[in-house]
Amino acid sequence: MDIEIYTNLAYIVAAALFIFGLKMLGSPATARRGNAFSSMAMLIAVIAGLIGSQAVSYEVIIVGILIGALIGTLSARLVAMTSMPELVALFNGSGGASSLLVGWATLYYLEGDVVPTFTAATIVLAILIGGLTFTGSLIAYGKLSERINSAALVFSGQRVLNSALLLAIVACAYLFCIDPSATSVYLYALLGLALLLGVMAVIPIGGADMPVVISLLNSYSGIAACAAGFAVGNNILIVAGALVGASGIILTNIMCKAMNRSLANVLFSGFGAAKTAKAVEGEVKPISVEDAYYILEAASNVCFVPGYGMAVAQAQHVVKELGKILEANGCEVSYAIHPVAGRMPGHMNVLLAEADVPYEQLVEMDDINPRIENVDVAIVIGANDVVNPSAREDPDSPIYGMPIINVDQARTVFVLKRSMASGFSGVDNPLFFGENTRMLFGDAKESISGVIGEFG
């Protein structure tokens, strides 16, 4: 009893530190210290949890921690900033797996005792959400790293199959809760169905919608931790899980709004192909590196608009270099970032921060749009759908209504692009044919290096 009081007191301290840490994440200036506070909270919670568990054997625990620490350290140290979405997807998955295992193990731990129905129900939730998060994240990882086809996979009968899957889950969950035991056949059925559900939930979602999926899975991994917390009756799991769950839901919501789509639409529609937008006709006006230099040399306000293509071309460092040269030339430089640019929330910001762009120069869509007319040159690097004026003007376009960065209203637009292929959503982009648009064809990194060379 004494130990329980002390562990719970420690949990209170940990919860307070978690909250304080998240609060400090509200500004780039304090964020790093916030993360340190949060990790301190984790250390306190883990030590308290270890003491409170009154474990009799430490071998398994130590081996588990060593394996986890090794994998965690290596992945955190080695990952390239361009691959952050993949890493976060994998971390989401491992959080889900851990909750599933805690829920499952609790059944064995309680073996011999009568498992109350409420505990059984929370175990079911931990297994379901944890399993769904695990396989869903693996599929998301596969799509993000393009190990599997990133296009939406839709087939006839998909909805029927998914509905049947959900019904089977509800039935198994009910039958398990009536007579919960570690050897229940329904438990194994639930495990299998949960893992299958994760796969089925993510395959119909296309690569361009990954920012939503990854946020949602982030949220699930927190909710799963919450459920596991109920199963083992541990309140710090509930507090921390709820914080993570809330964070994921907020990000999911921001991503959906930024694409002007409902969550249901993202999850079930298999975006693409459906509507046919107006075919865009016109002439593109290519520009040479030399001419681009003359225009930039005379510009007094330049705004970079990066997209996933910048990450693919690893162009963030040369972009920063060009930005610095322009600034030295007396030009005002900013970097406008659309909420869904890249493959996860804030992806572009991290890449530019990696290249040493001060965070004051990273501006949001809503900040740049009102003053976009004062921008002499908007340089679009590997972005497409997030600057597509069809979203504003063409009601038949699949992306109609999505808020965009209105680069077409800048005085001049440079679009850096490999070729004339359409964007990830497969939608034509009238921006490329605009009166004030100049296309700078070729690899983004080489083109920008070329311009920098001209400044020489």
Partner 1 sequence: MDIIFLTFILVLSVFLGFELISKVPATLHTPLMSGANAISGITLAGAFLAAGATNNDMASWLGGAAVAFATINVIGGYLVTDRMLGMFKSKRGK
Q: Are 99 and 126 in contact (CB under 8 A)?
A: yes
For partner 1, the closer of residues 65 and 166 by Cβ is 65
Q: With 0-12 CB in 10 A as exposed, 13-18 as middle and 19+ as buried, what is 141? A: buried
For partner 1, the closer of residues 32 and 285 by Cβ is 32
Q: Note the Cα 414 to chain centre separation in Å.
A: 28
Give me the phi and psi of 277, to 5 degrees please: -80, 170
CB of 32 to partner 1, least distance (A): 4
CB of 312 to partner 1, least distance (A): 17
User: How many Å apart are CA 409 and CA 369, to the nearest integer?
Assistant: 9
Contact residue for partner 1 among 1, 2, 54, 113 (CB under 8 A)? 54
Q: Is 401 in the site for partner 1 (CB under 8 A)?
A: no
For partner 1, the closer of residues 209 and 428 by Cβ is 209
Q: Is 321 in the site for partner 1 (CB under 8 A)?
A: no
* Amino acid at the residue 155: F
CB of 240 to partner 1, least distance (A): 4
Contact residue for partner 1 among 39, 163, 276, 300 (CB under 8 A)? 39
Q: How far is CA 136 from CA 152, 197, 213, 221, in A?
A: 14, 8, 9, 11
Contact residue for partner 1 among 8, 94, 260, 288 (CB under 8 A)? 94
* Amino acid at the residue 437: T
Q: Is 12 in the site for partner 1 (CB under 8 A)?
A: no
Q: Is 179 in the site for partner 1 (CB under 8 A)?
A: no
Q: What is the residue whose two structure tokens read 């991503």? A: 255
For partner 1, the closer of residues 241 and 398 by Cβ is 241
Residue among 209, 385, 394, 428 flagged as catalytic? 385
CB of 275 to partner 1, least distance (A): 29
For partner 1, the closer of residues 245 and 450 by Cβ is 245
Q: Note the Cα 198 to chain centre separation in Å.
A: 17
Tell me the window of 100-108, 164-172, 398-406, 444-452 that interacts with partner 1 (CB under 8 A).
Answer: 100-108
User: How many Å apart are CA 404 and CA 384, to the nearest integer?
Assistant: 10
CB of 358 to partner 1, least distance (A): 4
Q: Are 334 and 361 in contact (CB under 8 A)?
A: yes
Tell me the window of 72-80, 193-201, 286-294, 372-380 that interacts with partner 1 (CB under 8 A).
Answer: 72-80
Contact residue for partner 1 among 82, 150, 218, 390 (CB under 8 A)? 218
For residue 363, the cross-strand partners are 336
Q: Is 23 in the site for partner 1 (CB under 8 A)?
A: yes
Residue 385: active-site member: yes
Contact residue for partner 1 among 31, 284, 289, 312 (CB under 8 A)? 31
Per rule CB under 8 A, count of chain residues that contact partner 1? 114
Tell me the window of 226-234, 262-270, 374-382, 416-424 that interacts with partner 1 (CB under 8 A).
Answer: 226-234
Q: Is 16 in the site for partner 1 (CB under 8 A)?
A: no
For partner 1, the closer of residues 73 and 300 by Cβ is 73
Tell me the window of 97-105, 160-168, 275-283, 299-307 that interacts with partner 1 (CB under 8 A).
Answer: 97-105
| Cβ contacts of 307 within 8 Å, gap of 6 or more | 338, 341, 342, 348, 380, 381, 382, 383, 384, 386, 387
Q: Is 73 in the site for partner 1 (CB under 8 A)?
A: yes
User: How many Å apart are CA 136 and CA 341, to the nearest integer?
Assistant: 22
> For residues 114-133, which are near partner 1 according to CB under 8 A?
118
| Token output for 166 | 């959900």
For partner 1, the closer of residues 235 and 409 by Cβ is 235
| Cβ contacts of 436 within 8 Å, gap of 6 or more | 408, 410, 411, 412, 413
For partner 1, the closer of residues 108 and 294 by Cβ is 108
CB of 419 to partner 1, least distance (A): 29
User: How many Å apart are CA 12 and CA 384, to the nearest integer?
Assistant: 47
Q: Is 345 in the site for partner 1 (CB under 8 A)?
A: yes
How many of the other CB atoms lie within 10 Å of CB of 448? 28
CB of 168 to partner 1, least distance (A): 24
Q: Is 4 in the site for partner 1 (CB under 8 A)?
A: no
CB of 249 to partner 1, least distance (A): 8
The residues annotated as belonging to the active site are 385
